[in-house]
Structure 1
Amino acid sequence: MTDLPKKEQLYELIRANPFISQQDLATQLGLSRSAVANYIATLVRERRILGRAYVLPDQRPVVCIGASNLDRKLRSIDRLVLGTSNPASQDESFGGVARNIAENLARLGTPTALITAVGNDASGGALLAHAEETGIDTRGALRLDGASSGTYTAVLGHDGDMVVALADMALNDRLSPAFLATRQQQRAGAALVVADLNLPIESVAALLDDAARDGVPLVLVAASEPKMARLPHSLRGLRLLILNEGELAARVGRTLDSDAAIGAACLELQRQGAQDLIVTRGARGVMHTSPAGMMHLEAPRVEVVDVTGAGDAFAAAVCWSLHKDGDDAADLGLACRRGLQLSAMTIGCAQTVCPTLDAGHLESLINASELD
């Protein structure tokens, strides 16, 4: 690299580390800070980098923001009997809505970054190491001394359906607006921002404000019915909200007992500022908004092995579709079909994120389903 002109040497250093500081560039190249700034300004004018954070045009990632935790799944060997001890098998894996979405996206070949909070403990180190091995950029993560990384414990019946889950996710409250502001450059350089509702309501509101101001599409993914309280009243700036029927009912404060009621609830949220919504309905498929009204898609049949992670897989495939096709040209119906196929693939395997996932496999499943 030493034979290259200084500007090209600087460009290669930025390609290797898009978060490198101007001072580090100056030190490595033997230049003044002002000379580095001039070279960067030239690269911006040439559209070889996209301004601050030095984001390269062909490498704009999907930035996922929210929960990472250690998942523990206890599966009853026989029919579950409440109020007594039940024989069970145990499995541990890495989880968290934002982390699961990020891993699915990375396995689909999408440049992906994860902004999350972990304790500076063994679990946190393992979470980030696994993410990095999968190809996820974790440099924006918050590492906290004296804190335990989040945990999620699910109790499954012998048929694989969830009976109850317990989550220690308080660490995500540290993903405050002030902290997110320190990652503003990274977020502004994203092709798409995906956040889960494990974030504090003030942080979700800040992400909505930034999306409305900066024009980076924002997808919000619900985490549970109680955490719908973390969704601000104004949804201005929101490209897409992904949630299930119960979460939608919690938002509007009424029972949704028909397709028409779901459609009316979606329209209510669109009036609050959301551009589109997708409502997942388990084995009954999904409904989504469109210019022609509410659309319904059936779910593919699948033998249930483990439902954990299926909703996150669906959300990841939808986001992959938006990133792959470009948000302006994206077909939300196609995105949902991709989501349903990846969700079915995840339900049919024992892992939270299907280890055999890749983009070619997913597309072949979609093509095969359309021929049925």
Structure 2
Amino acid sequence: MSEHSKKQQLLELIRANPFISQQDLAASLGLSRSAVAGYIAGLIRERKLLGRAYVLPDRRPVTCIGAANLDRKLRSLAGIAMHTSNPAIQSESFGGVARNIAENLARMGTPAALLTATGKDSSGAALLAHAKSLGIDLGGTLQLPDLASGTYTAVLDQDGEMVVALADMALYDRLDRAFVDSCQARLATSALVVADLNLPLDTVDAVIAGARRAEVPLVLVAVSEPKMARLPRDLSGVRLLILNRGELAARVGRELSSETELDAAVAEVRAQGARDLIVTRGADGVLFTRGGTGEDRIVRLYAPGTDVVDVTGAGDAFAAAVCWSLVHDGEDLELACRRGLKLSALTLGVTETVHPRLGPDTLTNMNLQD
């Protein structure tokens, strides 16, 4: 049997049981234990195995770091009148940017891990049970007995557009630099890391540094204009930053009233170290950078038309589709953005924060031309 054939058989045995011992591998292959150890060392050097527990590259998770909340939506039954009572209907669902992205990915068949914090309360227990039922890895999640689980309350008008949102997310300050350091082995063996800016500034900085050291692609997702203050000045090691026009304006500290000013702001942030940016623009679609430098490297895509039922979660669906595409199809950001726009449109058409009927073929079967 050739050396290549032995390695292939070894990989198949490990694929079937990632915790198989070297002695059992040796017995199955008719080799000495030392020979098996040598083959495993070679496979690790070739990045076909990722070390302890024989983690296989094609099963590496996308690790999502950030918020996992209980979302409450109050939708007005008529035009909203300020400073008085308005008739409305209420719904509750699971949310949080990192959690929403992880759920989208899990429903589309991509291994996902979630590093977050919850209280030791009924909301936290429900959040974790739901994520576990989807197959999301929760091994790194903190449960904090002295704080309530995060909540996000959105007030929507009768057309489903957000009027205001209120967030109680103090517990994510506990996801500090020490927490990131304790999760480095998980981050280093991820296919991709995606972090939201509900994390403290020092934590985001630690995530960037860890991804840079491990050479793992990192996607940062902005969550609001005020929380742009949590984005470090040095973005070296960031594969992709996803944000909207208002968040970009907050980053550069000035209004962006023209397309020329918008493009200049994109170039300025890229000069801070981020390899690429995607700027989401609601119904106007997105713009993204395509490597290189200069205005000619900024590409604009229009959003497909859709009937809006509920805007909550549409941006997270976009980010999840982009991450899915980067993991499965490589560096084509245009393809990633087209998929993101389509998944966002699908999510706008349902009341749920994450579309409940996603599957492994959702993105590959999409018609991306209309």
TM above 0.5: yes
| Structure 1 residue 75: Cα displacement | 0.4
Match for residue 4 of structure 2?
none
CA distance in 2, matches of 1:16, 1:69: 34
Q: d(CA) in 2 for partners of 1:53 and 1:255?
A: 51
Quote the residue 2:18 is aligned against: 15
CA spacing shift, 1:336–1:53, aligned 2, 3 Å: same
Identity over the aligned pairs, expressed in percent?
61
Question: For the structure 1 residues 37 and 11, does the alpha-carbon distance in structure 2 shift closer, same or farther, using more than 3 Å as the test?
Answer: farther
The alignment partner of 1:257 has SS state of coil
Aligned match of 1:325 in 329, 332, 344?
A: 329
**Which residues in structure 2 correspond to 1:313-352 (within 5 Å)?**
313-326=317-330, 330-352=331-353
Shift of 1:321: 0.4
Letter in 2 for 1:333: E
How far residue 41 of structure 1 moved from its aligned partner, in angstroms, is: 7.9
Question: Any stretches of 5+ residues in structure 1 without a counterpart?
Answer: 1-6, 18-24, 27-35
Deviation at 1:37, TM superposition (A): 12
TM-score by length of 1: 0.87
CA pair 270-45 structure 1, distance change in 2 beyond 3 A: same
Aligned to 1:215: 215
Q: How many angstroms apart in 2 are the aligned matches of 1:222 and 1:83? A: 30
Q: Does the C-alpha gap of structure 1 residues 51 and 16 become closer, same or farther in structure 2, counting only changes over 3 Å?
A: closer
Instruction: Tell me the amino acid that sits aligned with residue 201 of structure 1.
Output: L
Instruction: Look up the equivalent residue of 1:207 and give its one-letter code.
Output: V
Cα distance between partner residues in 2 of 1:310 and 1:38: 52
Does the residue aligned with 1:58 lie in a helix, a strand or coil?
helix
Q: Spell out the pairing of 1:44-123 with structure 2 (5 A cutoff).
A: 44-47=41-44, 49-52=49-52, 54-123=54-123
Task: Look up the match of 2:204.
Answer: 204
Rounded Cα–Cα distance in structure 2 between residues aligned with 1:275 and 1:167: 30
Q: Distance in 2 between matches of 1:213 and 1:343?
A: 32
Q: CA deviation at 1:208?
A: 1.2
| 2:43 counterpart letter in structure 1 | E
Once superposed, what is the RMSD of the aligned Cα atoms? 2.5
Which of 283, 288, 295 is residue 299 of structure 2 equivalent to?
A: 295
Q: What are the within-5 Å matches in structure 2 for residues 352-367 of structure 1?
A: 352-365=353-366, 367=367
- Paired position in structure 2 for 1:169: 169
Which ranges in structure 2 are unaligned for 5 or more consecutive residues? 1-9, 23-32
Contact in 1 for aligned 2:197/2:220 (Cα 8 Å): yes
CA contact (8 A) 1:14 1:54 kept: no
Q: Aligned residue pairs: how many?
A: 346
Code of the aligned partner of 1:314:
F
Structural mapping, 1:143-292, within 5 Å: 143-290=143-290, 291=292, 292=296
Match runs of 1:135-146 below 5 Å: 135-146=135-146
Q: Which amino acid aligns with 1:111?
A: P
CA distance in 2, matches of 1:270, 1:193: 19
The one-letter amino acid of 2:74's match is L
Q: Mean Cα displacement is larger for which, 112-121 or 93-102? A: 112-121
CA 1:145–1:325 in 2, change beyond 3 Å: closer, same or farther? same
Structure 2 Cα separation of the partners of residues 72 and 210 of structure 1? 34
* Residue aligning to 1:22: none
